[in-house]
A and B are shown apart, each in its own frame.
Chain A
């Protein structure tokens, strides 16, 4: 009899502990895995670039939707396609889980000398028809990269050509057109699927 009561006590105690644990998990705010949220979202500077259709791109272009912004160049066979493919797959996953908002992917060229709107267009379209490609003049590009803390620099190759070293982070721009969060490389689909809904709910 005593043993039976003891077992009942253990079972009840276990159930109570489990209940407390579940309640605690539900009330606990979701935590970001890898993204860094900017404490006070930053306005974009004034700049004038253009998209793959030759249309102007300014700070206003980034208002009205969530944007994932990646800087790169089209003569980049590994990091840039890999990152754009991860962002495309993350968008698909977000659609599959019914996320409230699906961000737009924006690829900004740090090689405006070679990346004409036409070349850039074919490149970004390959990773998703809704993608925005941005290029323009070097001084206008530098206005934007400087304000966002994005580094880029030409790296000459043996054959007299060049690559471009560039920051590998993906920036999140909120619908008010403010830089509000950042994903550092290396990027994974899971990190975006986990963190983006949290970021997009907070703002």
Chain B
């Protein structure tokens, strides 16, 4: 009898994998409007912007962003307080259930530091602690000048 049990387990396993790959299901986190600015000449940093849509019924938290093309990536927020522009690090980016959080100029943004070489195509990995939540690919946005 043991061989039969194994095959049933195998069938359940295959079914579970197929469900996870169901083409109609939306991924939990979707990135749109991705803009990664080239760094200004002489500066080893640039800003990245994107919108993150949480399609699930649970809050998603992003505590770390990494990119093989940059030595460090941090989430920062520009604040305007009494006419003074300030920039502060965001420790955890919270994306509420069924909501979109936009990273855009003058607000929250990715600070991409220490570029490795002169990257044209950039991968960004978004983690909650050590769990990968999203991987996106983007190409560098060049200034019109």
Contact = CB atoms under 8 A, between A and B. Distances in A.
A63 interface: no
Nearest to A129: B145
B84 A151 contact: yes
Given A77-B109, A128-B145, A123 B83 contact: no
Contact of A122 (B42, B46, B89, B143): B42
A79 B40 contact: no
A78 B89 contact: no
A79 B43 contact: no
A126 B80 CA distance: 25
Given A79-B85, A166-B85, A168-B85, A186 B80 contact: yes
A126 B143 contact: yes
Contacts, number: 81
Contacts of B112: 77
A140 interface: no
Contacts of B80: 168, 185-186
Interface string B55-97: 0000000000000000000001010100111111100000000
Contacts of A155: 86-88
Contact of A167 (B40, B47, B83, B111): B83
Interface string B16-52: 0000000000000000000001001111011100000
B106 A186 contact: yes
Nearest to A152: B84
A95 interface: no
B119 interface: no
B105 interface: yes
Contact of B83 (A125, A127, A163, A169): A169
Interface string A148-192: 000100010110000101111100000000000000111000000
Interface residues of B, number: 25
Contacts of B47: 77-78, 81
A8 interface: no
A109 interface: no
Contacts of B76: 77-78
B37 A81 contact: yes
Q: Which of B43, B46, B111, B112 has the most CB of A within 10 A?
A: B43
Given A74-B40, A126-B40, A126-B145, A168 B83 contact: yes
29 contacts: A74-B42, A75-B43, A76-B87, A77-B45, A77-B46, A77-B109, A77-B111, A77-B112, A78-B47, A78-B105, A78-B111, A79-B85, A79-B87, A79-B106, A81-B40, A82-B106, A88-B145, A123-B43, A125-B41, A126-B41, A151-B84, A155-B88, A157-B89, A166-B85, A167-B84, A168-B85, A184-B83, A185-B85, A186-B106
Interface of A: 72, 74-79, 81-82, 85, 88, 118-119, 122-123, 125-128, 151, 155, 157-158, 163, 165-169, 184-186
